[in-house]
Amino acid sequence: MSEFVRVEVADGIATVRIDRPKMNPLDIEVQDALGEAAAQVSADPDVAAVIFWGGEKVFAAGADIKEMQDMSYPDMVKRATEIQERFTAVARIPKPTVAAITGYALGAGCELAMCCDFRIAAEDAKLGQPEVLLGVTPGAGGTQRLPRLVGPAKAKDLLFSGRMVDAAEALAIGLVDEVVPADAVYDTARERMARYVGGPALALRGIKEAVDRGMEVDLDTGLAMEAAQFAGTFATEDRAIGMTSFVQHGPGKAEFTGR
């Protein structure tokens, strides 16, 4: 994995830390490392939830424009698919994820944040998809994930103009889920992810897959996905533990094994 991306695990929570001075540009090396990190935390049984974090100053201020400047059309035909594969790996981590956003989350940085289940932003954070100002379109999911979060009209406003939104507007339109003081972003993200440590891992995985994949299909197909996930939980230890605990002790007291 790149020296600019590291994975730290503590108390069941993994932090994927982007650390490439000064503004955490997501160049090819970092993009590939994020894909590797996603695979690592997905496979680690000691990880119940994941935080994506760029540090106290900036989440990620976009792709490395200098790196892309001399890339040709054939170069980008190949790389565009690879970029999306790396970000899709993040989106498909089968565990709860949150982006802890300080400073800027722009372009690929915003697209990375949108791959997470939740987004917590600092009060002074700025988010946006400014690719149109460079004469290009978003390429790491911005035209697809943004309208799914905020609706097509609001998404087109941001995509057509390339303008940044502050944390208050991002919260109002549904681009972020919570706004807190800058020095509380990471701790708030840990508190949110701590809710899932010790939870029924396979049920959480099934819920995430049913919601995410269900958003891509018609209602009947989505309901069929839900039925399959629901039935599947009856093959888990946690289902037996949860139901037995509920009958004997009431709700919210089960001690799950993650199996």
Report helix, strand and coil shares of the chain as percent, to nearest 5.
50, 15, 30
131 is catalytic: yes
How does DSSP classify residue 49? Answer: E
How far, in Å, CA of 119 to CA of 54, rounded?
Answer: 13
How far, in Å, CA of 118 to CA of 51, rounded?
Answer: 10
Which residue of the set 56, 67, 131, 216 is catalytic? 131
Number of H helices, E strands in the chain: 11, 9
Residue pair 5/19 in contact by the 8 Å Cβ criterion = yes
Residue pair 148/115 in contact by the 8 Å Cβ criterion = no
226 is catalytic: no
Q: Who's near 253: CB < 8 A, 6+ residues apart?
A: 245, 246
In the structure encoding, which two tokens stand for residue 3, read together? 């020296």
Which residue of the set 29, 111, 237, 255 is catalytic? 111
In the structure encoding, which two tokens stand for residue 32, read together? 């590939």
Catalytic amino acids?
111, 131
